[in-house]
Every structure is written in structure tokens, then in C-alpha cells.
A and B are shown apart, each in its own frame.
Chain A
Amino acid sequence: MVKFLSDEWIEIGKKYMLEKLDPVKDLKSITTSLLGVVEHIPPNDTTMNFYLELEEGKLKDFIVNTGDTFEEKEAAYEVRGNYGTYKSILQGEMSLGIAVLKNRLKVKGSKMQALKLIKPLDGVIVSLKEITDEFQD
């Protein structure tokens, strides 16, 4: 059982992406970084974030932090949403794209640029879907 946003989630996520994803085929050789801010985490209504960095389709960094900012690195994109939305995405109930189009995930910056990212990030989402099977209720 791997719990969303746990240290184990990061470790297994990293391993899974490095082993299973092809940088060219799956991640389209993309170079980008993303800060996912997860708000309203039960039971205490806390906020956490995860920082994910890809360089030419290879996973460079994947870190979880508390709070809604990550001081060490500045991400190219910030995607903000509540815990329930991330849960729906990781349980396959909603796509990343629909979550953005329905304003469930707020993108800092241009929506056009963010939409361009959706396809390359599909591989990451699929990986995280595969490994995440426990959530806070």
C-alpha cells in the first residue's frame, strides 16, 4: 500500500518512472518542472506540495514538502488544487486535462502553455496512478 504524498510514494514513484517510462516515447523528451500544490488534505485541512522535474524526458527530481511553496527550486508551472481533485485524477475518475478545463486545478500562467504540457505528462500521471492506492479519508 502506497499512500499519496508519503515518502514511500516518492521513492516508488521515482523508481517506477525511471524503470517503466521511455524518455522519448512516453515523456516526449520534455524538459520542464512542475509544482503540484495539494490543498485541504484531511483530516487536519493541511497543504502539501510535490516538485517534479524532467530533463529531456528523464526524471531529475521528485520531492514532497509541506506547505504551499517549495523554496529550493522554482518550478516552471504551478498547479494548485484540492486533495479530492488529485485523488480523482489518481483514481482515474478524471483526467488531468479535464481537471484543468473545469478549474479544479488552477494553473499559474498561461492555460495554453499548460495544455501543451498535458500530453507529455500523461506518462507521469499513469505512473502515479499505478503506484498510489491509499488516500486520507
Chain B
Amino acid sequence: MDSNSVILKGKTSFKEAVNIAKKGTHCGMCKFDFLDSGLCPAGKKHGFLAYWPQGRMEIIKQLDSDRIKPTRALKDIVNSCNLCGFCDKQCNFTTQLRPEKVAKALKEYVEGLNESDFHDIPEDDIIKGLREIVGERWATNDPVIISSYTMTIIPKDGELNYYITMPETTEQVADIVKFAIKNNMPYQPRSGGTAFSAAAPTILGKGLSLEKGIIIDLYRMRKLEIHTDSQTATVGPGITMFELQKEALGHKLRALAAEAGAHVCSNILTTGIISTWGNKYGAMADNFIDLETVDEEGNIQKHSDWERKNPYSTEPGFTNLTLCPSFIITEAVVKLHPVWDDEEAVLVPFENIRDAYRLLIKLGKRDVGLSLAVLSRKYLAEFLSPTLQISKDFDYVCKNYLKLNYVVAVICNKDDKKIVEDMVDYTIGQSLMKSLILGAPRFTKLRDSEFMKILSEEEDPLKATFAGPMRSHLEKALDPSPKNVASVFDEDLQEFFTKVYSKPEMTDIVWLHAFRILPTRMMRQQMFMGPGAAMWTGDEDHYLNWIKMFDDLGEKYNLEHSLGFIAPLDQGKFAYMEYDYYYDHNNLEECQRISDCLIESMKKTLVMGRSFTILNYLFKGIHRKEHLLYPIPEGISNEQEELFDELIETVLGD
């Protein structure tokens, strides 16, 4: 039996599939239809992560490492896949991976096994109890299904002592919690698992994961209702931001935009929705009207229950760190905002960060624009480029020829656009951005061209490019077209991507800002960690020194690094900053370096003061931003530094 399995795992197709799976970063983009390409039918029908492309990729890794043996459920998972290829289209758009090869390899593997190779998993009292609550189909103790949750709530090593359950109603969630308490079982809710996947390979992984017990997968709770009169939406925890945004846009409304794959309820709970739209639409508890929650005793409550203890405040400071949510949000009533007919994108290019920062904060304080951010060159390159290599070349051209290191990106109505244009010498408008998206492959081919050499010799290459006669030459040289950009994808997908890039929204900067389908490209076959925080903007040097500190640590720990974005909050009084470190999540030594870098950056941020770090706001998104940001914190004392060290030691464990 085992020798058969060993032979099957030795096949080239299996090994190739394992290599594809290892590059996967659990972005979850295969769980919603963001390209109108269709959605994995098996995942939609069966729900459990194991039936989605992402889950199959995890299963093949777990089989390869012998953490799991084939079970009856594996056969069912494999048979549920009809090799429709939807996953290849979705995954290739963001990461250039081909998950269908994994599905095929799993099929081959299962077909090669004998009937006696499949283990039966007996029911125990816990699974019986859970099935009584959610129904026969929606609770499992099968190790293959359980293993698919590795890296998105389960740690990569250790026994698979878990149960997965998928409730459909708030009452079922409450009953599961009560059942867990009665049986002394730890439990943890899970939505998309994307936040955990970024943290899993780092020091935060151990503290944030569930060590054993009941995983409550909230995917089936998919209520989504738009209330146009009150401009609100009622959202269940199974709904992603993309799905909410799409439904809202149908009513000319918009939600505060998290990344497309973030689940709205869990994003509110985990960190609050952090967004470039935050200066106008708010942050933390600004974002919702009401929440329905299940507490740690299994009680169902609403934020609006008038007899309830104030749920909006929390103990301030970094020592109030929590590694687990205090509630499970089972429904949120979130605010929506009007979409105006005259909305436009204006981007202002800069060579240095100080000038970009200064404009951003000025706009933030004047309340100009709907979405406001400084985006780094690297961010822009990752988003606009269809492949990893093109993003590297894009970055190179911007840095070495154009001196384009930052842009202030503003989404605004026409009145605000005029204000922005009056404040600067030149801008990049929608038309040129469209050309850069559709002409990205050509843009990067210009890297050693005469045209770029001439540009780089200009006194102000940015001005020459975006305000001078070179602009029209550049647009012409880009030869922008859907076919041009689609030509860099695998041949069999080019026709599909030509259609995708022909859709107006794929080059509409306003739409892309609101739907945020591009940030996942930062996770192209490698992981990133963005230890962001918010800092008081009153002292420009202080803020910029803070960014420099992250930059220096990136060098010290030899990590690929770059500023991600800066976005103002609370009318420009604070600005959230994400600084990104990129790392290979399969390289243990690199994971250690990123962990050390995270600890040091957190400590230095706390010592610098006037800031709040992930330690301050992890699982605090349901509170009022005013309780978290104010009073503006000073740098921590020596005694608190010692406490920080102890806290980290606690998180790290033995």
C-alpha cells in the first residue's frame, strides 16, 4: 500500500505540482469571481477549503510530506474537480501559477491507489455533536480536509487534532461555541485566512494559530443586502470585500475598500479596514452602523443593544495585545458611500518622499479627495505589471530613467481634481495610466533604449515625461492594447486575458482603487509582510525618520524591501503607513530574518512614539479609532521596553 503511494509521489507530474503548491501564498483569490471567469464549482458546492484550488494545493503538500494519508474524503475532493480551468485563469492573473496542474496530479495520484489505500475516519462524540448543530455535511474530522487549512489557521507542523465546522446561522455559531465550552475544546473562527497566511511563517504564526480544537469556517454565512435608503449593507462573514463592492456599485454606492479577498466582517474585527479611502470614509468603528456578535460564552449580542457595556472602547497601549478575537462577528451593517459621476484619478509623480508626503498631508488636512495615498514605485510596479519579471523591469525603468519613485494617488471629483492640479506642475491622468497598464510589457522593453537614455539626461525627467513633448512619444511607444498586455501570459490563456483587459474596469484607476484586485500581485509566489502602523503627522521629520528606520532594517536583515503606501486618517492628523518586506516563505532562514526584523521595527516604533503599531490594534478593529489613536502616545519608557521584550518572549514561546 505504502510503496504504491511512494511510487505515485515520485512521478514528475506530482513533483511539479508540489513545487507549484509550495509557491502558493494562500491569497484566496480563487474563492470569488473577480474576473467574471466563473468560480470553482466544487468549492462553491462543498464549501470546505479542501474543495477549492487553494485547498488542493495545500493537500498535495501535506501528502508529499506524509503528514496525511489518503482518506475517502480525498477521493471525493478529487472527483469533485471537473478540471474546468477557472482556477488557472484566476490564479495566473495574480500569481502566474497554474493550480489546475495540481488538481490533475492529485487525480492521477488517487486513480493510482487501490481501494484499500483509502482510510475510513470514524465518528467520535465531538463530531457527532457538531453534526447535530450544523447538519451531517457541514462538520468533519477528516485529516485530509483538515490539512487544507494549514497556514491559514493551522500551523504547518504538528498533529491535526481539529474539527472543521461550517455553520449557516448565528444561532449555530452560538451553539458551536457553547458546545466547545462544554467539551473544553478550544475554538477559533476563520473567514478567508489571508491575514493569518501572511503571518504564519513569522513569529506571529504560533500565537495566532489554533493549536487544536474546533475551527469555525464562516464561509456559508453569505448574507448580502444593500439598503439604498440608509446607504448601508448587511454583510455576513462569508462575504468578501469584492462581493460587497460589486453589489454596492450596482446601486452607485461604495464600501470602505479593503483588499478584494478580505472578508468584510473578519477584516473589521482583525485590524479594522485600513484603506486609502480612510481619510474620507473613516477607520475602525467609523465603518459600521451595527454588529451582531457571538461572545466567548456563546451569547448573541448586538452593538446596538442599549443595555450593553460600551463595546467601542478598549484599554490603550501595546500591552493590551490580543492574539485572538473576543467575538465572532456574524453580521455587520456597514456604511456605504455615494459614487459620483465625475470621479477621476489623478496621480502626481515625485522623485523624493518628502515632497510626496507633504502634498499628501496637505490634501488630507484640506479634506481633498475620496481616496488619498502615497504609493511607492515598487507598489505601482507590482500592481500594474502582469508578470513578476515585468514588475521588476517596470521598477528599474521608473527608478533609473524616469526618477519616478513615488506617486500621490488621488481619487476625487472634478472640483477636487482642479485643486490638486492647481497645487502641482504636472499630473498623470487616467489616459496615461491606461496606457501604462496596457503597455506595461513595451514599457519595460524600453529599459535600454535611446528614448529612455535621452529622457534620463533631462534636468527633470519626470517633467519631461509627464508634462513635456515626450509624453505623446511615450504613449505611442507603449503601443497599449489588451492584446499587447495579454501576450505575456501563457499561450493558452492569451485569448482569455485579451478579453479581460478589454473590459473598461481593468484600466479604470477609480475602479481598481475601489475593488483592489491588484494588491495580491505582491504575493506572486513569495510572501510579504507589511508591518504598518499609524503615526501622528504633526512632525514631518519624525514621520520620515520612521520610514527611514524601516528602510535601514530592510538592509540590515538583507530583505527585499520597500515602502508600500501612506494614507492619511482623521483629516490628515495621522497617516497609516505600510512598509513591505518580501520573503520566501519556504526558506526557514529567511523567515527567521523577517521575524527578527518585525520585532525590531515594532520596538523601535514604540520607542519613537507618536505611533500605534500592530500590537496596539490587532483584533481591535471594532473599537473607535479615537480610543486607539488618542491621546497621541509618547515613546515607551525603559520599563515598558523590558515589558515589550517579555511580551515578545511570551508570543515566541519556548
Contact = CB atoms under 8 A, between A and B. Distances in A.
B296 A103 contact: yes
Contacts of B650: 95, 97-98, 101, 115, 118
A63 B322 CA distance: 30
Nearest to B183: A84
Interface of A is mostly: helix
A104 B211 CA distance: 12
B359 interface: no
A82 B183 CA distance: 10
Contacts of A84: 183-186
B651 A98 contact: yes
B647 interface: yes
Contacts of A20: none
B646 interface: yes
Given A101-B207, A101-B651, A116 B182 contact: no
Interface residues of B, number: 28
Interface string A64-99: 000000000000000000111101100001110110
A118 B317 CA distance: 18
Contact of B643 (A83, A102, A116): A116
A112 interface: yes
Contacts of B317: 112
A19 interface: no
A83 B184 contact: yes
A102 B182 CA distance: 19
B315 A110 contact: yes
A85 B181 CA distance: 10
A108 B113 CA distance: 56
Interface string B619-654: 000000000000000000000000100110111011
A60 interface: no
Contacts of A98: 206-207, 323, 650-651, 653
A101 B322 contact: yes
B319 interface: yes
Interface of B: 181-186, 206-207, 211-212, 296, 315, 317, 319-324, 326, 643, 646-647, 649-651, 653-654
Given A98-B651, A116-B643, 5 more contacts: A42-B184, A82-B181, A84-B185, A103-B296, A115-B647
29 contacts: A40-B181, A40-B184, A42-B184, A45-B182, A83-B184, A84-B184, A85-B184, A85-B186, A93-B211, A97-B649, A97-B650, A98-B207, A101-B650, A102-B322, A102-B323, A102-B324, A103-B322, A104-B186, A104-B324, A111-B319, A111-B320, A111-B321, A112-B317, A112-B319, A115-B319, A116-B643, A116-B646, A118-B646, A118-B650
Top-6 shortest CB links A-B: A84-B184, A97-B650, A112-B319, A102-B324, A101-B323, A102-B323
